[in-house]
Amino acid sequence: MVAAAEVTEKIKILVVDDQGVIRMGLSMILDHEPDLTTVAQAGDGEEALRMIAQYDPDVVLMDIRMPVMDGLEATERITKAAKESGRDRPAVLVLTTFDDEAYVLSAVRAGASGFLLKDTDPDLLVSAVRAVHRGDSLVDPASTRVLLERCVELERQVGNNPADSAPAAAGRWSGLLSQLSEREREILVWMARGLSNRDLAAKLFVSETTVKTHVSSVLSKLGLSSRVQAVVVAYEAGVVRPGEAEVRWDG
């Protein structure tokens, strides 16, 4: 919990969902916190892009299935524009349901910083917004195994296309992974196991600023937009194997 006296500048949030009741409910939860404020709401991805240009939010809560422009395309456009302009905001936090597994993986690859179930606990929602704003990536603990162990492993199985095999998946990343220094590879492994910047700083006995520098270097060398993309790559490349990841939460 953040005390009102500790707030210096509020985290600005854009809530995107095609259902007005959900938008209103999420906004009420967020606006109750002294360090968070909902600056705008949007009913589809196209409107979200206009709202971002107008209100410059720090975090976007993005639904996946919407008319006009869905959350996948909107997320890709948002993160691509941020990357091209050299900015690390807004961070996109995807809102999903249990039957959106494939969509969630696509959203992560599009640059989303993480995802949450729509019926998640309000305290978890608030912690998640703060986490992605800090630069930490996350996924909903209830869906972590589904996303990283089921979806990624299914893609790595040998199917009709030989390129889908596990060795091929690892091979696609071997060249880029070889560019990482020993410390950067260590950072990637611990990121994939769920450690936040704060956790990494404590474990490696360095400052959070140093950790952020290493994380930025890892993402740059791998051509990625977010930490959660790095987690998926770590699984695909076999750097971390199913069952080894532990997702932790810091509010």
pLDDT tens for each residue of 135-144: 776 665 555 5
- For residue 162, name the pLDDT band (cuts at 50, 70, 90): very low
**Residues present in the chain in total:** 251
Burial bucket for residue 6 (CB in 10 Å: 0-12, 13-18, 19+): exposed
Q: How far is CA 143 from the centre of its chain?
A: 13
- Look at residues 122, 121, 117, 67 and name the one whose alpha carbon lies nearest to residue 94: 117
Q: What is the mean pLDDT of residues 51-74?
A: 93
What's the confidence (pLDDT) of residue 98?
59
pLDDT tens for each residue of 214-245: 988 998 888 887 777 787 788 777 777 655 54
SS3 content of the chain, % helix, strand, coil (to 5): 55, 10, 30
Average of per-residue pLDDT values in the chain? 79
Q: What is the mean pLDDT of residues 5-34?
A: 89
Q: 33 CB contacts (<8 Å, ≥6 apart)?
A: 2, 126
Q: What is the mean pLDDT of residues 22-29?
A: 94
Q: Cis omega before residue 90 (within 30°)?
A: yes
Q: Where are the alpha helices (DSSP H) in 110-226?
A: 122-134, 141-144, 152-156, 166-177, 182-192, 197-204, 208-222
> Within 10 A of 132 (CB to CB), how many other CB atoms are there?
27
What's the confidence (pLDDT) of residue 148?
61
Q: What is the pTM of this model?
A: 0.71
The encoded tokens of residue 42 equal 């949007």
- For residue 1, name the pLDDT band (cuts at 50, 70, 90): low
What is the edge-to-edge ordering of all strands in the sheet holding 11-16? 36-42, 11-16, 59-63, 91-96, 114-117, 138-139
- For residue 110, name the pLDDT band (cuts at 50, 70, 90): confident
- For residue 14, name the pLDDT band (cuts at 50, 70, 90): very high
- Please give the Cα distance from 134 to 137 (Å, whole number): 9
